[in-house]
Amino acid sequence: RLAPFITTINQPPSVTAGELELHLHPRATVDCLPGVASYVGADISAGVVSSGMATTDKLTLFLDVGTNGETAVGTGEWLLTCACSAGPAFEGAGVEHGMRATTGAIEEVWVHSQTHAPTYRVIGGGKPTGICGSGLIALLAELFITGVVDRSGNLVRGAGSEGRGARVRDGEHGAEYVVAWAEETAHGCDIVLTKVDIDNLLRAKAAIYAGYTVLCQSVGVDPADVEQVLIGGAFGQYINIEKAIQIGLLPDLPWERFQFLGNTSVKGAYMALLSRDARAQVADAAAKLTYVELSADNSFYDCFTSALFLPHTEIGRFPSVQAVLENGRNEEHVGEMQPEGVVA
């Protein structure tokens, strides 16, 4: 082992179920799909194939919005990949009232630009227990667009002074925004978003943004040149595109360029299980993927630092967000939601 986190092999050999003491026929073959590097495993190799990225002519960005933030850029002719080490904030970890996308999680939020009062939707209906990743993205975007959070991620004190008093208040960990009062929640405690939470979310989105930006720059293209964005992972299918763009997580592209594909790694594994050709395609994709080690790339740190703002230090990279900030938005349709689990 020459350095931490260096894989011994990227393609484990085939073994039998008996050798692994699995509860299957002892002579059943167990195969592992090939990985690429220490932080980019077989889930990306399989995802690149199941998403169609390995055979497309379009300049494609493939994102797995998760803890490692695995990313790939390329076409059927060439592929680059990296891992962004985004951390678990978008999965609810490291956030005061973060949780997984299960019953009781706030999954979508709207904030009124005048009162700064939130309206939210809860998975499964009923009272909320916490906020899942999609809800955190939506909440941060709404607070930013309505002026409750500034471009540096600071909460503006005194915002939302209707009824119960200011939504932004001093909490145990500094300033915090009250998403739901205690009587609205399942556990009888206020659900809040703290300044520490916001900082964790900013670091996560900045890492992902910097990752795909570095990959694009390394081949002389800009994220604006990407022709399609394929979002994999179980969490990815719940992301609100508009709000992910508003916080600077996704590139500011026309919405029709985005596709949510669900769990592409599982789909790729199923394909490989049922087809030898598909298994060969995954092996070819793994061999074609060129790994970029971001920790050894100085430009990553520059891109990361620039992305620690909402949506970015250079707001011109996000023209649609700049337009909303300058011209305001139409509040007429804000908060028009599905009836189930909606609290206003």
Q: Provide the residue-wise pLDDT of the chain in tens; the chain has 344 residues.
A: 345 567 778 888 999 999 999 999 999 999 999 999 988 999 999 999 999 999 999 999 999 888 889 999 999 999 999 999 898 999 889 999 999 999 999 999 999 998 999 999 999 999 999 999 999 999 999 999 999 999 999 999 776 555 455 899 999 889 999 999 999 999 999 999 999 999 999 999 999 999 999 999 999 999 999 999 999 977 767 889 999 999 999 999 999 999 999 999 999 999 999 999 999 999 999 999 999 999 889 999 999 999 999 999 999 999 999 999 999 876 655 554 443 455 65
Here the contacts of 146-151 (C-beta below 8 Å, separation 24 or greater) are 146/111, 146/112, 146/113, 146/116, 147/113, 148/111, 148/116, 148/177, 149/177, 149/198, 149/310, 150/310, 151/309, 151/310, 151/315
Contacts of 23 (CB under 8 A, 6+ apart): none
pLDDT score at 7: 79
* Helix, strand, or coil (residue 89): helix
Tokens of 276: 């030898």
**pLDDT for 65-87, tens place per residue?**
888 899 999 999 999 999 998 98
Global confidence as pTM: 0.91
pLDDT score at 336: 47
